[in-house]
Amino acid sequence: MNTLIMNIIMLVLALAFTVLFILYPRKIANKTFTKKSTTILATIVAPIVILFLAIYTTASLVVSTNTRKAMLNDPEILTDTIKRLEEVEKQKQQDAAKQALKNITEDDSKYAPIMGNADGKVVAYIFYDYNCGYCKGADLALEEILKTESDLKVVLKNFPIFPPSLIPAKAVIAAKEQGKAEDLHKLLFTTRLVPESNPKATEQEITAQIEAIVFGLAEKAGLDVEKLKKDMENPSVEEELLRTRQLASKLGIQGTPAIIIGDNFYNGYVDKSVMLEAINQAK
């Protein structure tokens, strides 16, 4: 039963009871009630309550009918409503993100790879996935910025969305132990990490192919590959991935890239000019 039918039924019942109690209150009270309190209830309180119900139901019916007509005649009303809801939701996310930004500590970058000046006063965090095209664009913009911004520290927050991105993410975090994380990071973004599609390939075979690509790049970057493999199993690597997921959850990050520069948070790709403006604000 839809809202319109329910409103009509409630209106009819409310009007019927209102007429009954207003036109014949004393008669009903004399025949049915004996105590003074019940007489007051029957002659005063009940009619007021029923009348209020009738007015409320009538108003609800009118509003519902007019709203439906308005939406049918002007569909843009619904579009505007959805847009407004999205704006409210976005504002809630931004407020939550601002609160989360205040709670970022050194522990959030303790095990994370760093680009640029490790002691820089301006700190940028970039959440990325090695199989994300937009992440590559954001990373290239930051690399360009680092050529002129000597006081910028970029914290690389590996946030693997796609399963094939987990192995390179662990490798880069572990490469920090050998001081080669930035070198491996750059190479990973210049190489296709997902093997060519093969419907017959098993998950183990695909994983082996990804590892071969990643470890080949690690060797090219000057890493001791055997040490890298061991370091990838260190608890600190999983802790870094866990901290990244937790921070992403607080910030409402569900995809990549996402960038934090000073007090500015961008949940999505932004170009070099926007990053530079945020860096200047953070100085």
Confidence of residue 250 (pLDDT cuts 50, 70, 90): confident
pLDDT of residue 200: 73
Q: What percent of the chain has pLDDT over 90?
A: 45
**What does the block give as tokens for 119?**
């002691």
3-state secondary structure 203-265: HHHHHHHHHHHHHHHHHHCCCCHHHHHHHCCCHHHHHHHHHHHHHHHHHCCCCCCEEEECCEE
What's the pLDDT tens digit per position in 103-137? 777 767 789 999 999 999 999 999 999 999 999 99
The mean pLDDT of 175-193, rounded to a whole number, is 93
pLDDT of residue 6: 57
Residue found by looking up tokens 């199993």 in the block:
233
- What value, to the nearest 5°, has the Cα angle with vertex 267 and ends 90 and 141? 150
What's the pLDDT tens digit per position in 34-61? 445 455 445 555 566 666 666 666 666 6
pLDDT of residue 108: 72
**What does the block give as tokens for 266?**
């961008």
Q: Which of 136, 223, 241 is nearest to 175 (CA)?
A: 223
Of 148 and 32, the one with more pLDDT = 148
**Residue 29 predicted with pLDDT over 50:** no
The reported pTM is 0.67
Task: Tell me the CATH number of domain 106-282, given options 3.40.50.2020, 3.30.1330.40, 3.40.50.720, 3.40.30.10.
Answer: 3.40.30.10
| Dist CA 113 CA 234 (whole Å) | 15
CA 208 to chain centre: 33
CB atoms near residue 218 (< 10 Å):
26
Of 167 and 191, the one with more pLDDT = 167
Residue 45 gets which letter from DSSP? I
What's the pLDDT tens digit per position in 82-111? 877 777 877 777 677 677 777 777 767 789
Any idea where the domains of the chain sit in the sequence?
Answer: 3-66, 106-282
Report H helices in 35-116.
36-40, 46-73, 76-102
User: How far apart, in Å, are the Cα atoms of 97 and each of 16, 90, 142, 250?
Assistant: 54, 10, 22, 7
Of 42 and 64, the one with more pLDDT = 64
